[in-house]
Amino acid sequence: MLACGRPSPVRPDVFIKKVETAGSGLLMKKEIANVMFSVQYKPVDYILSKELMNHSLISSDLEKRRKQLDGYRYFTFRVKGKDEKDPVRIGTLSQEEYDQKQGYLSSDIQRDFLLVEGKDSVPCSICHYEKTYGLSPFVTLVLAFKDSENRNKEDNELSFLYQDHVFGAGNIWMKISTGDLKDIPTVNFN
């Protein structure tokens, strides 16, 4: 149901499922060679919903937390190898090279991400590498980009760029369409 061109408000649990569904356009995937790259766009209401559902946030602190998160666009970037092994090992010939890649993921990869909205190109402001010491078949990075001046313009899609220097895939572009951004429902936190 639409209200003023936007979907009707939904409960936090429904909102989470909507955002995480591949058909929403907010979860993008691209396979190159034997590597799957995925980007999950996480609107502020998604983060708030997750924190409420995980009981790490109480309702009375909702607006305070929103103010902390506002001003940025949040994403989870994930890399998975086809063989279900540590993707950092892909194309890695020695332990020294593996350690260099781990170091790059921990400190230098932030500059490899760019968010394009309209005519604005926004570099990654926050990048957190979830180091699993090879115990996970994923590389996961949590990213934040400051809002661009074009944030609320009607016709802007979001283009996410990862300039790969670790997995041998080159430049990877993924887009969220204007329609998918407009279809993000609001959340009823009451």
22-79 pLDDT, tens digit each: 889 999 999 998 889 999 999 999 999 999 988 887 888 889 999 999 999 999 999 9
HSE of 153, CA atoms in CB hemisphere, 13 A:
12
Mean pLDDT, to the nearest integer, of 10-21? 94
Report domain extents, the chain.
Answer: 2-182
pLDDT (tens digit, 9 = 90+) per residue, 114-155? 999 888 899 999 999 998 887 888 999 999 999 877 666 556
Q: Is the pLDDT of residue 166 over 80?
A: yes
Are 171 and 163 within 8 A, CB to CB?
Answer: yes
Buried b (16+ CB within 10 A) or exposed e, 76-96: bbbbbbeeeebbbebebeeee
* Domain 2-182 of CATH type 1.10.3720.10: no
Taking alpha carbons only, the member of 9, 4, 1, 93 closest to residue 49 is 9
